[in-house]
């Protein structure tokens, strides 16, 4: 085929540059128009022909509305949610719920104190237990506040548990038959030594101070008694102690 054939002719390079430049210019115009429409503070000044051209270009008949055209609503600060553990605003319901619990707890304290001084009176022990059970049976009803309701119930149960523990301590102390007395003036040692056997050379188990109470199980007849320590640092330990430093408690029943 001859070189001058029409099929071998190429477009001039300047024509290609012109075409590419035209396409780039059209793209710039389109992007600029969209940008102006979305960012202009008062898009009402946008020429009608531009708007119509953009509507025809997008094909959906819609142009992005400016912020100024949108409905303006007054700003309202969001109401912060109250934490689950927040108490009521005035605390009146919580105070009302706690009042009978506090009264019942005070009554239980008095009943336990009376039993402690009775040296294991079964009637007073029963009265103290009844007072503690009354705490547990107190109903709690804090309306519309589940967190406060749970907190009051937990406090009620804690008060009942603390007094139950106090009653058990009182039951133990009520079994005391003797009290350590005169140990600090004893020339041998300023405390009563609790030993593993009824012998001065037996293993040293604990040191009892004046005022510590014990329950005497039996007397060996040799100046020693087998005891259980009921108060003081050595509470719960068993061993042998010198009888001369054990003072019988008034109204205590020996041999319990």
| Range list of H helices, the chain | 13-39, 48-58, 92-116, 122-136, 146-174
Same-domain pairing of 23 and 57: yes
Whether residue 112 lies inside any domain: the answer is: yes
Whether residue 98 lies inside any domain: the answer is: yes
Q: pLDDT truncated to tens, each residue of the chain (256 aa)? A: 455 555 555 656 666 666 677 777 777 667 666 565 555 544 444 455 555 555 555 454 454 454 444 455 555 545 544 444 444 445 577 788 889 999 999 999 999 999 988 777 899 999 999 999 999 999 988 877 788 888 999 999 999 999 999 999 888 888 889 999 888 887 777 889 999 999 999 999 999 999 999 999 999 889 999 999 998 899 999 999 999 999 998 755 444 3
Contacts for 195 with CB less than 8 Å, ≥ 6 apart = 202, 203, 204, 205, 239, 240, 241
Question: Could you tell me which of 255, 251, 254 has the C-alpha nearest to residue 118?
Answer: 251
Whether residue 188 lies inside any domain: the answer is: yes
Same-domain pairing of 120 and 185: no
> Is pTM beyond 0.75 here?
no
Whether residue 255 lies inside any domain: the answer is: no
Per the structure, the count of domains in the chain is 3
Domain that holds residue 191: 178-248
Whether residue 25 lies inside any domain: the answer is: yes
Same-domain pairing of 187 and 242: yes
């Amino acid at each position: 085929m001859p070189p001058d054939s029409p099929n071998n002719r190429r477009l001039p390079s300047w024509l290609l540059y012109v075409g590419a430049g035209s396409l780039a210019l059209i793209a710039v115009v389109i992007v600029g128009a969209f940008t102006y429409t979305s960012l202009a503070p008062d898009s009402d000044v946008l020429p009608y022909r531009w708007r119509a051209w953009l509507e025809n270009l997008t094909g959906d008949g819609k142009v992005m509305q400016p912020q100024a055209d949108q409905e303006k609503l007054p700003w309202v600060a969001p109401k912060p949610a109250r934490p689950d553990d927040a108490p009521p605003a005035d605390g009146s319901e919580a105070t009302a719920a706690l009042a009978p619990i506090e009264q019942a707890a005070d009554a239980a304290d008095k009943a336990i104190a009376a039993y402690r001084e009775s040296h294991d009176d079964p009637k007073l022990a029963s009265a103290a237990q009844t007072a503690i059970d009354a705490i547990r049976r107190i109903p709690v009803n804090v309306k519309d506040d589940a967190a406060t309701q749970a907190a009051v119930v937990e406090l009620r149960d804690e008060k009942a548990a603390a007094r139950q523990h106090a009653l058990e301590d009182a039951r133990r102390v009520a079994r005391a038959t003797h009290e350590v007395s005169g140990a600090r003036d004893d020339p041998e040692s300023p405390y009563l030594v609790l030993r593993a056997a009824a012998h001065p050379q037996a293993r040293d188990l604990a040191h009892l101070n004046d005022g510590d109470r014990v329950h005497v199980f039996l007397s060996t007849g040799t100046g020693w008694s087998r005891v259980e320590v009921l108060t003081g640092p050595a509470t719960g330990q068993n061993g042998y102690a010198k009888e001369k430093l054990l003072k019988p408690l008034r109204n205590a029943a020996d041999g319990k």
